Structure 1
Amino acid sequence: MTVLAYLIPISLILGGLGLAAFLFALRSRQYDDPEGNAQRILSGEYDDKPKQ
């Protein structure tokens, strides 16, 4: 039972670090691609035609 006294705080710290890394990635706009979809739809490279 004493091992839980070590594992619970360690897991909370690791979860907090993961959350902090995710929030950092969101704030630094790493997931944003505002022009990507607009350029892809106009390029015509991704038509529904099968390749020959």
Structure 2
Amino acid sequence: MADLIAHLHRGMAEPFRRPDWDCCAYVADWVLAATGIDPAADLRGAYHTLAA
């Protein structure tokens, strides 16, 4: 639980920016850290803006 709380605190300190730090990557980063499985592997690097 402490790891999740630390992840949430880091997230609150970061500005929202695509594609490195947005709502999808943020959650996927936690899942990756917690399980070793990246649910956004196919999305990383595939978009840069709202349009693509």
The reply to whether TM is greater than 0.5 is no
Q: What TM-score bracket applies, with the shorter chain setting the length?
A: under 0.3
Structure of higher CA gyration radius: 1
Greater RCO, CA 8 A, separation 6+: 2
For normalisation by structure 1, the TM-score amounts to 0.28
